[in-house]
């Protein structure tokens, strides 16, 4: 039932050809049964990509294949209508019938598919079980919570075994607690259903929990498509690093490099840091070392060579963790420490240790911010 989705050089322009396309030369493939999440800020083109797969937008360039069938190819004037693509869709708003029960809602798409009563019942039961609503079968959907309604929408889009499931910010109308609960269940539900899924969100924590691979988009471009661990530890560029929360960028020059690790002399401070670097890095290269706040260690005494002396500029107590801004010379380093009691106060002096294996450097290009 699940199919491969193959997108090649997808382009969607909404207006004049001189305007930047909403989707700009995007290519990726989702394997059968795989979940890919498109992540990016508002306006980056993720919804337009999803709507192009759904057939709700007509692309202006490139091709889309679902299970080996070409469904969009503007150059050759091929366009398969949405209702002939056999896709399931779940959107922000719960598109459920308010006057029907859970069971009736889930059975609805099968009405028009000439499926026998027995088989309908079996499929409906299965879909309701998958989304965990077994106990609510007879309930009118108006008597359900937002999260439960969204589960109904999900069951209804899975019941006819679509080739691909498309989800556009399906959790964004839920309150924070429900959002977390359904977020944690969604991956299991989609995997249990065995369906290929394309999921769109601007919420990185949602993407990390749900995806097999995450595609980060910006200005219509797909910047990187990788599993979450690669994305968080080896971001392809500064935007991806920043968008996924790497709050510190330290500019410097490579002194030595061997086996994918380099020693980088930081600009304007008397410190060098060891960091992982791209393969094509050479001594003398200008780089930006990207550091995630949760990977920075703060020490009261210098224990290792390479620790940098710093002073606490400010802190934000967040209940289960404390976010610090530390000044190392004129450079600001962000650090987050887990724990319900802050260990440091503004003005405290300390030592900052950044383990080399969790540092990642990019080549510094003209025009990129060099430090903050
Ligand atoms: N129907 C349309 N007509 C003209 N421009 C559009 C249309 N739909 C989207 N756009 C533009 O295309 C770009 C990409 O929009 P898109 O909705 O795909 O972004 P997004 O990343 O999904 O954002 P959001 O998270 O806000 O939905 C935006 O600049 C948007 O203004």
Q: Residue 369: inside a domain, yes or no?
A: no
- pLDDT for 367 equals 41
Which stretch of DSSP H or E encloses residue 151? helix 146-158
CA-12 nearest atom, ligand 1? 12
Mean pLDDT of the chain: 91
Cα-to-centroid distance, 199 and ligand 1 (Å): 16
From 233, 255, 288, the end of a domain falls on: 233
Q: Is 42 inside a domain boundary?
A: yes
Render pLDDT for 288-343 as a digit per residue (tens, 0 to 9). 999 999 999 999 988 777 789 999 999 999 999 999 999 999 999 999 999 999 99
Q: What are phi and psi of 46, to 5 degrees?
A: -70, -40
97 or 268, higher pLDDT: 268
**Cα–Cα distance, 291 to 316 (Å, whole number):** 19
Q: Which atom of ligand 1 is nearest to the CA of 38?
A: 21
Instruction: Please give the residue range of the domain that contains residue 147.
Output: 5-233
Nearest CA to ligand 1 atom 13: 22
Out of 233, 255, 286, pick the residue that ends a domain. Answer: 233
Tell me, in angstroms, the distance from the centre of ligand 1 to residue 138's CA: 39
Domain of residue 162, CATH code: 3.40.50.300
- With a 6 Å cutoff on the Cβ, whether 22 touches ligand 1 is yes
Residue of the nearest CA to atom 25 in ligand 1? 42
Q: Does the beta carbon of 182 lie inside 6 Å of ligand 1?
A: no
Q: CATH code at 285? A: 2.40.50.140
Q: Provide the pLDDT for residue 370.
A: 36
Distance 20 CA to ligand 1 centre (A): 12
Alpha carbon distance 172, 87 (integer Å) = 21
In this prediction, residue 368 has a pLDDT band, given cuts at 50, 70 and 90, of very low
> How far apart (Å, rounded) are the C-alpha atoms in residues 283 and 263?
9
User: Residue 87 and residue 71: Cα distance in Å, rounded?
Assistant: 12
The protein residue whose alpha carbon is closest to atom 31 in ligand 1 is 43
Compute the Cα dihedral for 95, 200, 191, 172 and give only its sign.
negative
Residues 220 and 255 both lie in one domain: no
Cα–Cα distance, 42 to 58 (Å, whole number): 21
Contacts of residues 138-145 at CB distance under 8 Å and 24 or more positions apart, as own/partner, are 138/101, 138/102, 138/103, 139/101, 139/102, 140/98, 140/99, 140/100, 140/101, 141/96, 141/97, 141/98, 141/100, 141/101, 141/102, 141/105, 142/98, 142/99, 144/102, 145/178
Number of domains in the chain: 2
Q: Are residues 152 and 269 in the same domain?
A: no
Residue 371 lies in a domain: no
What is the C-alpha separation between 24 and 61, in angstroms, rounded? 9
Q: Does some domain include residue 370?
A: no
Q: What percent of the chain has pLDDT over 70?
A: 97
Whether 44 is in the pocket of ligand 1, judged by its Cβ within 6 Å, is yes
> pLDDT at position 131, please?
85
Give the residue, out of 47, 171, 198, with the most ligand 1 atoms within 8 A of its beta carbon, to mutate for a pocket test: 47
C-beta 61 within 6 A of ligand 1:
no
Do 193 and 297 sit in the same domain of this protein? no
Answer yes or no: do 272 and 220 share one domain.
Answer: no
Residues 180 and 147 in one domain: yes
Average pLDDT estimate for 164-174:
89
Q: Is 48 in the pocket of ligand 1 (CB under 6 A)?
A: yes
> Does ligand 1 lie within 6 Å of residue 317's CB atom?
no
Query: Does the predicted TM-score (pTM) go above 0.90?
Result: no
**How remote is the C-alpha of 300 from its chain's centroid?**
36
Pair (251, 273) in one structural domain: yes
* Protein residue with least CA distance to atom 8, ligand 1: 48
What share of the chain has pLDDT > 90, as a percent?
67
pLDDT at 366: 46
Nearest CA residue ID for atom 2, ligand 1: 14
Q: pLDDT tens digit string along 236-247?
A: 888 999 888 888
Asked if 175 and 77 sit in the same domain, the reply is yes
End residue of a domain, out of 233, 259, 279: 233
DSSP for residue 21 = P
- DSSP per-residue codes, 271-325: -EEEEE--TT--TT-EEEEEE-GGG-EEESS--STT-EEEEEEEEEE-SSEEEEE
pLDDT of residue 1: 66
Nearest-CA residue for atom 28 of ligand 1 = 43
Assess whether 141 and 273 both reside in one domain: no
In a domain, 38, yes or no: yes
Query: Per-residue pLDDT tens for 176-211?
Result: 877 888 888 889 989 988 999 999 999 999 999 999
Instruction: Classify residue 72: in a domain, yes or no.
Output: yes
Ligand 1 centroid to Cα of residue 251, in Å, is: 34
Question: Does 190 lie in the same domain as 130?
Answer: yes
State ipTM.
0.93
What is the DSSP pairing of strand 213-218 with strand 35-39?
Answer: parallel
Q: Do 211 and 260 belong to one domain?
A: no
For residues 183 and 209, the answer to whether their CB atoms sit within 8 Å is yes
**Range with top average pLDDT, 119-123, 213-217, 231-235:** 213-217
Let me know if residue 144 belongs to a domain: yes
Same structural domain, 168 and 268: no
pLDDT (0 to 100) of residue 352: 96
Residues 235-257 as b or e (16 or more Cβ within 10 Å = b):
bbbbbbbebbebbbbbbbbbeeb
Q: 131 C-alpha vs ligand 1 centroid, how far in Å?
A: 30
User: Which residue's CA is the nearest one to ligand 1's atom 16?
Assistant: 45
In a domain, 240, yes or no: no
Query: Is 12 near ligand 1, meaning CB less than 6 Å away?
Result: no
The answer on 197 and 174 residing in a single domain is yes
Q: Look at residue 81 and tell me whether its pLDDT is greater than 50.
A: yes
Q: By the 8 A CB rule, do 27 and 11 touch?
A: no
């Amino acid at each position: 039932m699940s199919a491969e989705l193959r997108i090649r050089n997808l382009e969607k322009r909404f207006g004049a050809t001189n305007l930047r396309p909403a989707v700009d030369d995007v290519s990726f493939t989702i394997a059968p049964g795989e979940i890919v999440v498109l992540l990016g800020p508002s306006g980056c083109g993720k919804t337009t990509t999803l709507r192009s797969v759904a057939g709700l937008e007509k692309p202006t360039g490139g091709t889309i294949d679902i299970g080996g069938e070409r469904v969009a190819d503007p150059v050759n004037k091929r366009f398969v209508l949405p209702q002939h693509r056999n896709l399931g869709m779940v959107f922000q708003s719960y598109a459920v019938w308010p006057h029907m029960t859970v069971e009736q809602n889930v059975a609805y798409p099968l009405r028009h598919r000439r499926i026998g009563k027995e088989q309908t019942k079996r499929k409906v039961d299965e879909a309701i079980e998958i989304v965990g609503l077994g106990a609510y079968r007879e309930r009118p959907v108006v008597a359900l919570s937002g999260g439960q309604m969204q589960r109904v929408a999900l069951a209804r889009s899975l019941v006819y075994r679509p080739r691909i499931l498309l989800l556009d910010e399906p959790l964004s109308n839920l309150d924070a607690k429900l959002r977390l609960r359904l977020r944690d269940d969604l991956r299991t539900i989609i995997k249990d259903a065995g369906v290929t899924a394309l999921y769109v969100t601007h919420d990185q924590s949602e993407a990390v929990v749900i995806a097999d691979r995450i595609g980060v988009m910006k200005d219509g471009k797909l910047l990187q498509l990788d599993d979450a661990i690669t994305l968080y530890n080896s971001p392809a560029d500064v935007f991806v690093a920043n968008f996924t929360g790497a709050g510190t960028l330290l500019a410097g020059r490579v002194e030595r490099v061997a086996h994918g690790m380099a020693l980088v002399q930081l600009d304007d401070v008397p410190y060098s840091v060891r960091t992982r670097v791209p393969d094509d890095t050479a001594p003398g290269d200008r780089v930006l070392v990207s550091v995630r706040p949760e990977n920075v260690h703060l020490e009261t005494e210098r224990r290792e060579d390479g620790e940098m002396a710093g002073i606490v500029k400010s802190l934000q107590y967040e209940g289960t963790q404390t976010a610090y801004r530390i000044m190392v010379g004129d450079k600001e380093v962000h650090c987050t420490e887990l724990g319900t009691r802050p260990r440091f106060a503004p003005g405290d002096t300390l030592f900052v240790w950044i383990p080399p294996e969790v540092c990642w450097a990019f080549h510094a290009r003209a025009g990129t911010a060099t430090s903050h």
